[in-house]
Amino acid sequence: MMWDMKDGSISFLVDLLQMRMMRGRFICAIILDLIMNAVPLLRSAYFLRMLFVLMEAPSSSYSMQILLLVAICLSSVIHSLTFAGQYNCGAVAGARVRSGMLSLVFKKVLFQRSQNASVGKLVNLCANDGQRLYDAIQHGPFLFSVLPVIGATVYAGYLLGPWGIFGFVIFFAFIPFQILLSRLVFLYRQKAVPITEERVKLMSEIITAMKLVKMYAWEKPFARKIGG
């Protein structure tokens, strides 16, 4: 980062600033995410099951069946509304943190006496790292979706026995595979970052000295260098 992270107090203040910028909206997104994942579980595990039981019963009440149908429709509406609200709260929180961090970087660059960072590094920091920070905060509330999944696993084991848990075992077995894929993406990105910085730096130098490049007809050599 552009600020000196060796100082523990500065690092703590930056983390505290991030929490203050996203605290309310992030907590709201977590609550909406829990509701969003709990409503389908309630709809499928209770409302739909009770509706099938009443439909098979010869002396069931039609009013109760209609009430269950209304509850199923309302649960679908609540699921859609909470998903939109959760996504919106996460997006706003991510945008606030990204803009705040980029403002800190911009002020640090303005007030820094010696500029030891290249243009490519600054562009990569503002574009890629800023977007990663935004994505992490926007999709962070989805981590709490594991709580309704655990509840669904317990209910499936209670209702169906070992076969109900078997499906969730397969679901959780893919988590290490996803972690491995994310690690591979991170490693490849780490290899691509220096190349991107060098290319942006070269393009900046070419645009700055465009008249000189045109005068000596260096277009093709520089084009081959940029192309790799």
pLDDT of residue 95: 83
Where do the domains of the chain lie? 6-160, 165-227
pLDDT of residue 119: 60
- Tokens representing 141 are 């509330």
pLDDT of residue 208: 79
Say how far apart CA 110 and CA 89 lie, in whole Å: 32
Say how far apart CA 197 and CA 186 lie, in whole Å: 17
- Percent of the chain at pLDDT > 70 equals 85
Give the model's confidence band at 116: pLDDT under 50 very low, under 70 low, under 90 confident, else very high. Answer: low
Give the model's confidence band at 24: pLDDT under 50 very low, under 70 low, under 90 confident, else very high. Answer: confident
Burial class (CB in 10 A: 0-12, 13-18, 19+), 35: middle
pLDDT at 63 > cutoff 80? yes
Select the more confidently predicted residue: 54 or 112. 54
Q: Please give the class, per CATH, of domain 6-160.
A: mainly alpha
* Residue in the structure block whose two tokens are 């277009």: 219
pLDDT at 152 > cutoff 50? yes
* Residue in the structure block whose two tokens are 């203040």: 13
pTM: 0.65
Contact by Cβ (8 Å): 118, 197: yes
pLDDT of residue 101: 78
Which of 8-12, 42-46, 159-163, 188-192 is modeled with the greatest confidence? 42-46
Give the model's confidence band at 2: pLDDT under 50 very low, under 70 low, under 90 confident, else very high. Answer: very low
